[in-house]
Structure 1
Amino acid sequence: MAYDVQQLMAMTQEELDDLFKASPAGDIPDGEAKGTAIVAPGTVYSEHIAQIINVFGWQGKVFDAEKGLLKNKVLFFGFQAIVARVYKGESWLDGKECVVLDYSDTSMLAKYIRDEIRLIGPKFYLGKVYWGKDRLIDFCLEF
């Protein structure tokens, strides 16, 4: 089944987790991806929160698969900052392979952040954000 951002925001947290668990890691992405934060999934607030985050905070990521790095697009003008190492590893959610976005050695600001992504459709990834070992939010990336 093909998914879109609206469908993901309408899902419950349990449905998002089940989709993530059922999806393959996919390849390490390359290029620019539009990002959408998924906060309060399955509620009327999810889309509004995502819009506010997109305008003022985070718009997506730019991957360099060859170097195993990415930069986040942040602030209202899409400034590329906050670097992460990108590699395949074990998911903290279910122990299966995922693509890990690791900020621990590359960013003082995001030192305790770890993202995990899996491919849920053509050029479409679902992600989980962790602060330390605590899960924060979900997000998606459209290439």
Structure 2
Amino acid sequence: MAYDVRTLLEMRQDELDDLFRNSPAGDIPDGEATGTAIISPGTVFTESIAKMINLFAWQGKVFDARRGVLKNRVSIFGLEAILAKVYKGESWLDQKECVVLDYSATSLVAHWIRDEIRCIAPGVYLGKVYWDKHRLIDFCLAFR
């Protein structure tokens, strides 16, 4: 099956979790990715919430694989801010390898946040967001 943003927005939480569990970590990405927040998966609200967040709050991430860092594109202006370290590590979901986006040592505003991503299709990553060790939401990154 080909996975894209539209497909992910239509999936239920258990389907997103299964897809994440059954996908490889993939390479640490490099370059700019368009981000889509996946909140209330499998409901009629998912797509509308994603559009609002994308317009006003979070547009994606810009990775520098060589340096092992990323910056988020945030605000209506798409400013690059909120730095994270990027490395491969063990997922908190299933203890298998994933790409970790770690804000603990790089961000005052997001130091309690950890993202995990896995490659679900060429240039497409599915992510999980944790606040301390509590799961918050899912997201998708689509690279050009």
Normalising by structure 1, we get a TM-score of 0.99
- The residue aligned with 1:28 is 28
CA RMSD of aligned residues (A): 0.4
- The residue aligned with 1:136 is 136
Structure 1 residues 3-40: Cα deviation after superposition (integer angstroms, max 9, x where no partner): 11111111110000000000000000000000000000
Q: Distance in 1 between matches of 2:14 and 2:139?
A: 14
- The residue aligned with 1:42 is 42
3-state secondary structure, aligned to 1:52: helix
Q: Which runs of 5+ in 2 are unaligned?
A: none
Q: Distance in 2 between matches of 1:7 and 1:29?
A: 21
Identity value in percent? 71
Shift of residue 117 of structure 1?
A: 0.1
The amino acid of 2:127's aligned partner reads G
Q: Which runs of 5+ in 1 are unaligned?
A: none
Normalising by structure 2, we get a TM-score of 0.99
- The residue aligned with 1:5 is 5
- The residue aligned with 2:119 is 119
Q: Distance in 1 between matches of 2:44 and 2:62?
A: 29
- The residue aligned with 2:80 is 80
Q: Distance in 2 between matches of 1:28 and 1:90?
A: 14
The amino acid of 1:76's aligned partner reads I
Q: Distance in 2 between matches of 1:55 and 1:76?
A: 6
